[in-house]
Amino acid sequence: MRYAMIMAGGSGTRLWPMSRQAVPKQLLRFIGGKSLLSVAAERIRTLVPEANRYVCAGEKYRALIREDIPWIDDAHVLGEPMGRDTVNAVAFAAAVVGKDDPDAVFAVLTSDHLITPQAEFERAMDLGFRLVEADPTRLVTFAITPTFAATGFGYVERGDAIAGFPGAFGAKRFVEKPDRARAEEYLQSGGFGWNSGMFVFSARTVLDALQRFKPETAAGMREIRAAWGTAAARATVERIYPELPKISVDYALMEPASKDPALSVCVVPMSVEWRDVGSWPSYGETLAADASGNRTNAQALHVGSTGVLALSDDPAHVITTIGLTDVIVVRTKDATLVVRADLAEKVKDIAGLVPEALR
């Protein structure tokens, strides 16, 4: 049967001061009144039955997640006592969905992105499911068709086409964040895509592979699976999770799998607009611009300003600027950020310096 798990564990420090430890970016309702998590949950509504959809996130956000996604219950929130990177979130989902369904096939999805059009997302995901359902030794990743020579994304190179599955290929190699020259080369070649961080796996295959590649993780997940659904489940997760090796799914699973003759790493290109809403400039792209390139989610007045992003958590608050160019202003009830747009990556540094109550 088909399942899906949305990873929602990011801290979102580059979106301070709106994104905080109490309410991180994936739970901020700043995408047309919806959160990134709820948008991601809606995206899979036609692909996976409601009863088979899970969210993996910090345990402390359980109540907020249930408020944000009304259909989800406690059993479908995989609460992490602390973040241990993506491979443990994937293994946690594999352990849970595979306990009662040995043939479970599950999608791993992100809560950081806006993806359109929906029809292309659904087409590619369905193909990924069918690939694994036909051969559980396949591990499927999705490659976003690149639109520019990005140096901040990982890349996947397509190999040979997979017979019987038009639009699917073997994965030839993975490349982490290339320099500008190589990124330009990859874009021109047409054979590379951006590594989306989305996957489809057999639950059994994931745990079997981790037994070989990361046995400590596999052993911990066997204990969690045995306790899941019992009164000991929460205590077991809290005891085991902090001791798991902290490593990404790319390094712990996908890279060693690409060299393992018992496994087949596949790639499905996905031709979508894929926006990573991880910084204020990327969020600004979701808002309409005026004739001077200024954008806002509330009320703003500008005199001689261009390229200003003015944001507030209070729709009645008015932000005004005079003669500014390419500046970001973010106002909340207890903190205000003003930063040049080209230095927006440094917002995470400020988020780590402010008093604990503002983090």
Tell which of 276, 311, 335 closes a domain. 276
Identify the pLDDT of residue 178: 86
> CATH number, domain at 134?
3.90.550.10
Q: What is the average pLDDT across 141-168?
A: 93
Q: 153 and 200 share a domain? A: yes
Residue range(s) defining the domain that contains residue 130 = 2-276
Q: 270 and 308 share a domain? A: no
In this prediction, what percent of the chain has a pLDDT beyond 70? 100
Q: 183 and 298 share a domain? A: no
Tell which of 276, 296, 323 closes a domain. 276
Identify the pLDDT of residue 175: 87
Identify the pLDDT of residue 193: 93
Q: 262 and 315 share a domain? A: no
pLDDT in tens, 73-132: 999 999 999 999 999 999 999 999 999 999 999 999 999 999 999 999 999 999 999 999
Q: 111 and 236 share a domain? A: yes
Distance between CA 276 and CA 273 in Å, rounded? 10
| Strand bridging mode 295-296 / 105-110 | unpaired
Alpha helices in the chain (DSSP H): 36-43, 62-68, 86-100, 118-134, 180-189, 203-213, 215-227, 233-240, 249, 255-257, 280-284, 347-351
Identify the pLDDT of residue 152: 84
Q: 262 and 284 share a domain? A: no
Report how many domains make up the chain.
2
Q: Is the peptide bond before 117 cis (omega within 30 degrees of 0)?
A: yes
Q: Where residue 319 falls among pLDDT bands split at 50, 70, 90?
A: very high
- Is the pLDDT at 280 greater than 90? The verdict is yes
Q: What is the DSSP string of 224-251?
A: HHHHTTSTTHHHHHHHHGGGS----HII
Identify the pLDDT of residue 150: 86
Q: 290 and 263 share a domain? A: no
Q: Where residue 11 falls among pLDDT bands split at 50, 70, 90?
A: confident
For tokens 């944001």, name the residue: 311
